[in-house]
């Protein structure tokens, strides 16, 4: 083990150097830095190489070709950074190399997972007794929770979907809003519930499902609501959706990948009204909790539905009355994601989570104010951490988005909102300061001016 000390110290030094440099480096890599990744390829080496040399190559060629999303001025998609304590915990957990699927293979992994689920249920105001599963992200969280939904609604109709599959099953009505996230449609696809047979409910100007347009429901039914539209940040009227759906015995699932975190911030929690009435929820930790990739959670009000949906047993698996993590999630062997979630929550506390969410929301409002002040069109009500802005016609807007990415001060992506090209700004990182917002805003406005009146 002589080598491994030096190797791990070198990795720590290199990581620190990377993170030290991230505040001032350009956010997107230069094309030549991406091209230099070719150094990592070539034919498979015939013989061994020194680990120190391999690590050096990885750092020299790899680090410059990263996107600085761990830094303070990345506003693409919905992407959190990593709170320092969560990265440190992640390093330690890497050394532990635990298989968190079973209590017997990782007592600490199982314990931290259970604690993390309990604390999240508390801080998000979900019903006491809600169970959960730790998965890779909100896509798998939606999949996992909807598997529990499928079990419950078909079970109530006398059909054992785990045993018999969907062949010959009673038809299940699945309702989504017109602004449903694509990952939820993928989850429905994987569950055999079909992407195109869903009932789509129209959305309003902010992308919220129109509750008054919900169809009459009878028989097995699942209604998928959304907390946090990926473009506008808007919330479906979850209270009205739950009232309508529950009157017909339907299941309500909430895709709350990033928006559900608003429930933890007293000044934003009005947006999530009714969310605790739902039956299941999907959440990302790698977005707004700012833990390293990958980390998401599925929550199910009645954990027995989740357990039935994932039911498995084998003679070589221990039969215990403890909470075995693998009995609640689609995977068996997996990393101990509870470690970083625990470290984040143990460090931030209730107040720190609220503060993180609230601060990013205020920074989004600061962006919106600066853009409006300069005469540009902010296309959404900035209620959360998302801002969409147009710089004129679609071609100009697309030119500004490309220009901002090339400029490198910050990174913002593009989208289309109600047929109109827009730039998206998502403020989701613990590392972003108001100064970063001002510096980014100045860069965006400079690029926009250059793109609109070429002199």
Q: Is 137 in the site for ligand PLP (CB under 6 A)?
A: yes
230 binds ligand PLP (CB under 6 A): yes
Q: Provide DSSP, 133-157.
A: EEESSHHHHHHHHHHHHHHHHHHHT
**Between residues 427 and 448, which has the closer beta carbon with respect to ligand PLP?**
427
Single out the residue of 177, 207, 296, 325 in contact with ligand PLP (rule: CB under 6 A). Answer: 296
Residue 413: partners with Cβ closer than 8 Å, 6 or more residues away: 75, 76, 77, 401, 423, 424
Told to check if 179 binds ligand PLP by CB under 6 A, we report no
Q: How far is the CB of 227 from ligand PLP (least distance, A)?
A: 8
Q: Rule CB under 6 A: is residue 236 a binding residue for ligand PLP?
A: no
> Which of 113, 236, 255, 436 lies at the binding interface for ligand PLP (CB under 6 A)?
255
> Minimum Å distance from CB 229 to ligand PLP?
7
Looking up tokens 């339907």, which residue turns up? 250
Q: Which residues of 83-113 are buried (b: 16+ CB within 10 A; e: fewer)?
A: bebbbebbeebeeeebbbbbbeebebbbbbb
CB of 390 to ligand PLP, least distance (A): 21
Residues whose CB falls within 8 Å of the CB of residue 97, separated by 6 or more in sequence, listed in order:
none
- Do 328 and 280 touch, CB atoms closer than 8 A? no
Number of residues located near ligand PLP, criterion CB under 6 A: 13
CA distance linking residue 232 with residue 380, whole number of Å: 6
Helix 434-452, helix 394-407: angle, nearest 10: 130
By rule CB under 6 A, what string of x and - marks binding of each residue 52-81 to ligand PLP? --------------------------x---
CB of 93 to ligand PLP, least distance (A): 20
**Residue placing its CB nearer to ligand PLP in the complex, 77 or 91:** 77
- Whole-number Å distance between alpha carbons of 342 and 408: 34
Given 74, 235, 258, 376, the residue binding ligand PLP (CB under 6 A): 258
- For ligand PLP, which stretch binds (CB under 6 A), given 6-14, 92-100, 136-144, 420-428? 136-144
Counting contacts by CB under 6 A, is residue 177 touching ligand PLP? no
Q: Tell me the residue length of the chain.
A: 455
Identity of the residue, 181 or 301, whose beta carbon is nearer to ligand PLP in the bound complex: 181
The two most distant CA atoms of the chain are separated, in Å, by 76
The DSSP output letter for 417 is E
Q: Is 407 in the site for ligand PLP (CB under 6 A)?
A: no
Q: 257 or 389: whose CB is closer to ligand PLP?
A: 257
DSSP 214: P
**Least distance (Å) between residue 406 CB and ligand PLP:** 25
Q: Using CB under 6 A, which of the segments 20-28, 51-59, 60-68, 137-145 binds ligand PLP?
A: 137-145
Which residue shows structure tokens 């473009």?
231
Contacting range for ligand PLP; rule: CB under 6 A; set: 33-41, 160-168, 251-259, 353-361? 251-259
Measured CA to CA in angstroms, residue 430 lies from 79, 82, 374 at distances of: 11, 8, 27
By CB under 6 A, residue 187 contacts ligand PLP: no
Tell which one of 112, 120, 138, 176 touches ligand PLP (CB under 6 A): 138
For residues 77 and 96, which CB has a smaller minimum distance to ligand PLP in the complex?
77
CA distance 256 to 422: 23
What one-character DSSP code corresponds to residue 411?
Answer: B
Residue 292 Cβ vs ligand PLP, minimum distance, rounded to whole Å: 13
Which SS3 state, helix, strand or coil, does residue 280 take?
strand
Q: How far apart are CA 252 and CA 260, in angstroms?
A: 15
Least Å distance, CB 364 to ligand PLP, is 15
Q: Does position 340 bind ligand PLP by CB under 6 A?
A: no
Map the footprint of ligand PLP across residues 91-120, applying CB under 6 A: none
Q: State the nearest-atom distance from the C-beta of 284 to ligand PLP, in Å.
A: 5
DSSP H or E stretch at residue 113: helix 107-123
Nearest-angstrom CA–CA distance, 5 and 2: 6
For residue 436, give both structure tokens. Answer: 């970063």
Can you tell me which of 112, 154, 193, 257 binds ligand PLP, judged by CB under 6 A?
A: 257
Where on the chain is the footprint of ligand PLP (CB under 6 A)?
A: 78, 137-139, 181, 183, 228, 230, 255, 257-258, 284, 296
């Amino acid at each position: 083990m002589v080598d491994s000390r030096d190797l791990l110290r070198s990795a720590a030094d290199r990581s620190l150097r990377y993170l030290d440099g991230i505040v001032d480096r350009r956010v997107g890599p230069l094309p030549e830095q991406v091209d230099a990744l070719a150094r990592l390829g070539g034919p498979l080496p015939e013989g061994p190489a020194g680990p120190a040399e391999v690590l050096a190559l990885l750092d020299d060629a790899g680090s410059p070709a990263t996107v600085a999303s761990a830094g303070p001025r990345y506003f693409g998609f919905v992407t959190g950074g990593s709170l320092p304590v969560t990265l440190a915990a992640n390093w330690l957990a890497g050394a532990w190399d635990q298989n968190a699927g079973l209590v017997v293979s990782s007592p600490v992994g199982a314990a931290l997972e259970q604690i993390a689920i309990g604390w999240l249920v508390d801080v998000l105001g979900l019903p006491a007794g809600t169970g959960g599963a730790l998965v890779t992200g909100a896509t798998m969280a939606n999949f996992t929770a909807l598997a529990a939904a499928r079990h419950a609604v078909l079970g109530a109709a006398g059909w054992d979907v785990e045993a018999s599959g969907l062949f010959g099953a009673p038809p299940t009505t699945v309702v989504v809003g017109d602004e449903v996230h694509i990952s939820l449609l993928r989850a429905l696809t994987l569950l055999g519930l079909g992407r195109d047979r869903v009932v789509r409910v129209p959305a309003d100007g902010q992308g919220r499902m129109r509750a008054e347009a919900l169809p009459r429901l009878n028989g097995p039914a699942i209604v998928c609501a959304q907390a946090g539209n990926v473009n506008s940040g808007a919330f479906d009227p979850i209270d009205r959706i739950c009232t309508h759906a529950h009157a017909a015995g339907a299941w309500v699932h909430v895709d709350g990948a990033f928006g559900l975190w608003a429930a933890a911030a007293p000044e934003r929690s009005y947006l999530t009204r009714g969310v605790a009435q739902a039956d299941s929820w999907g959440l990302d930790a790698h977005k707004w909790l700012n833990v390293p990739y990958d980390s998401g959670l599925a929550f199910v009000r009645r954990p027995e539905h989740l357990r039935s949906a994932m039911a498995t047993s084998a003679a070589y698996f221990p039969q215990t009355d403890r909470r075995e993590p693998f009995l609640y999630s689609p995977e068996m062997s997996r990393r101990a994601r509870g470690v970083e979630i625990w470290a984040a929550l143990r460090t931030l506390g209730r107040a720190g989570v609220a503060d993180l969410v609230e601060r990013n929301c205020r920074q989004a409002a600061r962006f919106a104010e600066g853009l409006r002040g300069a005469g540009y069109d902010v296309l959404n009500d900035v209620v959360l951490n998302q801002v969409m802005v147009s710089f004129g016609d679609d071609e100009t807007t697309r030119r500004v988005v490309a220009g901002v990415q090339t400029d490198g001060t910050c990174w913002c992506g593009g989208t289309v909102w109600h047929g109109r090209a827009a730039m998206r700004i998502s403020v989701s990182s613990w590392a972003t300061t108001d100064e970063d917002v001002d510096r980014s805003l100045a860069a965006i406005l400079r690029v926009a001016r250059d793109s609109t009146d070429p002199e």
